[in-house]
Amino acid sequence: MAGEVARVSAVRIVDSEPRAIGPIEALRARMLDVIQPDASQARALVAGIVCGRTTELDQTSASEAFARTGTSHLVAVSGSHLALVTSLAQVFLAFVGARLRTRYLLLVLLMSSYVILTGGSASAVRSLIMVGLTLVASWGERRGHGISALALTTMALVARDAGVVFDVGFQLSAVSVLFIQLFYRYLSYLLIRLGMPRPIAEPLSLTLCAQWGTLPITIPIFGTCSIVAPLANLVLGPVMSALLVVGLVSVPLAAIVGPLADVLLAPADALASISVFGAQAFAGFPYASIAMAASPATALPYLAACVVYAAWLDASRWQVAVVCAAIPGALAMHLVRWTLFAPASVTVLDVGQADAILVREGSAAILVDAGVDSEVADALARNSVFQLDAVVITHWDLDHYGGLEDVLASVSVSRVVVAEGTLDAMPEELVALDMPEVVELSEGDALSVGGFACTMVWPEGPVEGSDNEDSVALAVSYDSGGCALDMLLAGDTEIAQEERYAGRVGDIDVLKLGHHGSAASVDAALMAQMRPELAIASAGEGNSYGHPTKECIDTVEASGARFLCTIDVGDVTIRPARGGFSVSTGR
């Protein structure tokens, strides 16, 4: 929990005897051999949903599709899985005429075996105990109570292992069940009052309750919110439930009757293929999943839950319609504003000891450098960036390209732009990515971003891109509607390079300091020549380089310019204005 990382090396193997495998583990291994989860995405899904093994599925594009559509929980072993297992078993036991109490004992034994078979995750154990408590209540001719069962189960699991509260799967499972217990019937009633048929209203209510309760957890952890989740769950839920039922019957039979395995697994294959196709189709919707950053507003769903629970209004049809329209309407307005009407701005993003600068206006946006890690995706999310026309990588230092994979995973990127000659030296980890079009830029070329012109002023010729002196420097200018701004993004260039291109840049308003504000990033002569009113350094707190250095800060302040660093103020946003420019900071 402290974020500590260690690397362990095996010095000497003390005991290498194989561990004894129990009958349930042996059955699971045999079932996985028959399924062959690495054969296709469909088979990987069968293994995940029937046996609880998602290793192969996590390595496929289908896993990303389930995540983007908010349907990953349909794969994970949960209460719905156990409910289906219990229903199948009850039908069989009733058919053979088993006595009621014998049925209950066999059901508990079967469910326990199933949880062990699927890996015994905390969320699955939670479901098992809750269903077990319900059966005990029925056995004792008492009324079951879901919230009490959830509370008792949580206390029991925490008493056994307090660390379970940090298990994200357990958190999501417990909170979704709580919200379903609290609001499922209420939401179903309101949706039916709105005129929605009961077969649609009830499963939709389940999905809405689960997403309502888990958003304040998923947004800070995963940084995304699935917009298509309600519809995707409504469509894929029945298909994947059918896949579970068919798989629970066909996979064990296939494990026993080896030669006919493919025939027996054909129905499960078909349902899994439909599920994967459906998830990928929903994931392909525009803005199926949007990036969101954690903020105080993340807690609003819980505040809304308190208000709804306290009021418990018997709303009229028009009131329900207004609320149902207001939530997607507000989200649509937010998307439209930031994808079509974003104000002209240049934002130096706070991404630690790294560089990432966002330039945008209207529907156009580019990112200059991609940070060093996933912090850049978080920064884009908190600035409501959903698409990028280009990502410019100034040179091949990790603190300028390291977060590119996260950027590509979180927003749509049309192209990647690099300096002339650097394409052949692209790091191997980037070559392995599913990259968009990569374009080389030469000195004098310009990128248009709304009313901004971003002109490459360095390097002067082809470079390899491995050294700081190979870094791209961009002169950013804006002149529209009486508002103007001239800014230099110096990348990792320092005094030796800046002296050669400063004459082409001329008098500027804002200087994004080169090389994170190193001692060699600027000198008095350059400050006098470019005359910026504001100089900004992007650096990480406690970095080992001492950036920004005292020499740099003193030089900036001695020139009369104001100095800002992302360490102190977070994101720094500059907007063109009449007669000057405005500056706002993240903190």
284 CB neighbour count, 10 Å cutoff? 12
pLDDT at residue 533 above 90?
Answer: yes
pLDDT at residue 1 above 60?
Answer: no
The residue among 410, 409, 418 whose CA lies nearest residue 391 is: 418
pLDDT at residue 355 above 90?
Answer: yes
DSSP 22-88: PHHHHHHHHHHHHH-TTS-HHHHHHHHHHH---TTGGGSHHHHHHHHTT-GGGTS--HHHHHHHHHH
Q: What is the percent of the chain where pLDDT is above 90? A: 46
Structure confidence at residue 507 as a pLDDT band (50, 70, 90)? very high
Q: What's phi and psi for 563, nearest 5 deg?
A: -115, 135
Q: 341-585 architecture in CATH?
A: 4-Layer Sandwich (3.60)
Q: What is the pLDDT of residue 115?
A: 83
In this structure, are residues 380 and 291 in contact, taking their beta carbons and an 8 Å threshold? yes
Lowest mean pLDDT among 90-104, 168-182, 316-330: 90-104
**Burial tier of 329 (Cβ tally within 10 Å: 0-12, 13-18, 19+):** exposed
Lowest mean pLDDT among 12-16, 302-306, 376-380, 516-520: 12-16
| CA 157, 158, 162, 167 torsion-angle sign | positive
Q: What H or E segment, with its residue span, contains residue 104?
A: helix 100-117
Q: Please give the Cα distance from 75 to 119 (Å, whole number).
A: 13
| CA 276, 278, 282, 284 torsion-angle sign | positive
pLDDT at residue 20 above 70?
Answer: no
Phi/psi-derived region of residue 518, left when phi > 0, alpha when psi is between -120 and 50, beta in every other case: beta
pLDDT at residue 513 above 90?
Answer: yes
Q: Please give the Cα distance from 384 to 339 (Å, whole number).
A: 9
Q: What is the pLDDT of residue 93?
A: 79
Lowest mean pLDDT among 14-23, 47-56, 162-171, 517-526: 14-23
Lowest mean pLDDT among 136-140, 234-238, 463-467, 544-548: 136-140
Mean pLDDT of the chain: 88
Compute the residue count for the chain. Answer: 587
Structure confidence at residue 245 as a pLDDT band (50, 70, 90)? confident
pLDDT in tens, 89-102: 777 777 788 777 78
Q: What is the pLDDT of residue 175?
A: 93
Q: Taking the CA atoms of the chain, what radius of gyration do you get in angstroms?
A: 29
Q: What is the percent of the chain where pLDDT is above 70? A: 99
Q: What is the pLDDT of residue 136?
A: 81
Domains of the chain, residue spans: 21-70+228-292, 78-166, 169-226+295-335, 341-585
The residue among 331, 274, 273 whose CA lies nearest residue 297 is: 331
pLDDT at residue 271 above 60?
Answer: yes
Q: What is the pLDDT of residue 19?
A: 66
pLDDT in tens, 456-501: 999 988 998 888 899 999 999 998 888 999 999 999 999 999 999 9
Q: What is the pLDDT of residue 159?
A: 93
CA dihedral 90, 95, 96, 98 (to 10 degrees): 50
Pairing of strands 510-512, 534-537: parallel
The residue among 562, 486, 499 whose CA lies nearest residue 526 is: 499
Name the pTM for this structure.
0.78
**Average of pLDDT values for 356-364?**
95
pLDDT at residue 545 above 90?
Answer: no
- Please give the DSSP secondary-structure letter assigned to residue 20: P
Q: Please give the Cα distance from 214 to 298 (Å, whole number).
A: 11
State whether residue 371 is helix, strand or coil.
Answer: coil
Lowest mean pLDDT among 24-33, 204-213, 433-442: 24-33
Q: What is the pLDDT of residue 2?
A: 64
